[in-house]
């Protein structure tokens, strides 16, 4: 029952009571105050029950594991290490016979200054190839026409060097030599010290024992002082100065 219905019921009961009282011999009051009607109340919609929406549970789908292929085991085959072949034993090379120390001999026309072209401290050279038949035992008498400057000790880092000297051939005393000029290599410095060949002068005449320089590769590898500017003659190695 709404509030308006209740008010109307109260008013009806009050009217009924007034009517019933008016039929009696009771004095009627001068003023009857009727209750003021209750203000109209608009019908309010009935409260609706709360609607609860129940959502169905979400189904969780689990992914199936994907099988991972396992590689097949690889068989490792050991590689044998090759055994090196044994090296042949080195052949013993024959030692050269010790070279006789030359005696000091004079040089120049006056024969006043002794000279030895091979110092005692020089080690024995490597065995050389036999000279050609035409050059075997070549000995000439020759006059110096050009010399080379040998460095002073301490000027250079090396300690051994050759010096190239150019000659005019005066005579051939043994062997065979057809040229009129000769290019000869002397040992100009040994172990940081100059030899007598480093002090030769133009005009001196010497007797030389000679062999081709190509037959002495150990000498060809040394440093060489060469101021002769001679490139047309085959150089010879002076084995002895007489």
Report pLDDT digits (tens) over 213-236: 999 999 988 999 999 999 999 999
The answer to whether residues 119 and 215 belong to one domain is yes
State the Cα–Cα distance between residues 240 and 235, nearest whole angstrom: 15
Q: Indicate whether 56 belongs to any domain.
A: no
pTM of the model: 0.46
In a domain, 29, yes or no: yes
Is residue 72 in some structural domain? no
Dihedral-angle region of residue 3 (phi above 0 means left; psi in -120 to 50 means alpha; beta otherwise): alpha
pLDDT at 121 over 60: no
Does the residue 66 lie in any domain? no
In a domain, 59, yes or no: no
Beta strands in the chain (DSSP E): 105-107, 113-115, 138-146, 161-174, 181-190, 193-194, 205-212, 223-225, 236-241
114 assigned to some structural domain = yes
CA distance 77 to 93: 47
In a domain, 54, yes or no: no
Same structural domain, 31 and 110? no
pLDDT on residue 21: 62
Q: Assign 103 a pLDDT band (cuts: 50, 70, 90).
A: very low
**Strand 205-212, strand 236-241: pairing:** antiparallel
Domain count of the chain? Answer: 2
In a domain, 189, yes or no: yes
Range of 227's domain?
A: 105-123+132-241
């Amino acid at each position: 029952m709404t509030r308006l219905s209740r008010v109307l019921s109260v008013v009806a009961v009050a009217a009924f009571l007034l009517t019933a009282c008016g039929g009696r011999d009771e004095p009627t009051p001068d003023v009857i105050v009727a209750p003021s009607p209750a203000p109209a109340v608009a019908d309010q919609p009935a409260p609706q029950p709360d609607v609860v929406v129940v959502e169905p549970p979400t189904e969780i789908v689990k992914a199936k594991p994907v099988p991972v292929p396992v590689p097949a085991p690889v068989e490792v085959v050991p590689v044998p290490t090759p055994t090196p072949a044994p090296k042949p034993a080195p052949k013993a090379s024959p030692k050269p016979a010790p070279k006789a120390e030359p005696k000091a001999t004079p040089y120049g026309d006056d024969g006043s200054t002794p000279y030895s072209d091979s110092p005692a401290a020089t080690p024995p050279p490597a065995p050389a190839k036999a000279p050609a038949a035409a050059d075997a035992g070549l000995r000439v008498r020759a006059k110096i026409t050009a010399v080379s400057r040998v460095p002073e000790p301490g000027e250079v880092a090396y300690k051994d060097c050759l010096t190239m000297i150019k000659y005019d051939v005066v005579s051939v005393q043994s062997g065979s030599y057809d040229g009129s000029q000769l290019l000869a290599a002397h040992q100009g410095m040994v172990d940081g010290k100059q030899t007598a060949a480093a002090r030769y002068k133009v005009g001196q005449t010497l007797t030389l024992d000679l062999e081709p320089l190509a037959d002495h590769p150990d000498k060809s590898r040394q440093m060489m002082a060469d101021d002769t500017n001679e490139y047309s003659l085959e150089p010879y190695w002076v084995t002895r100065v007489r």
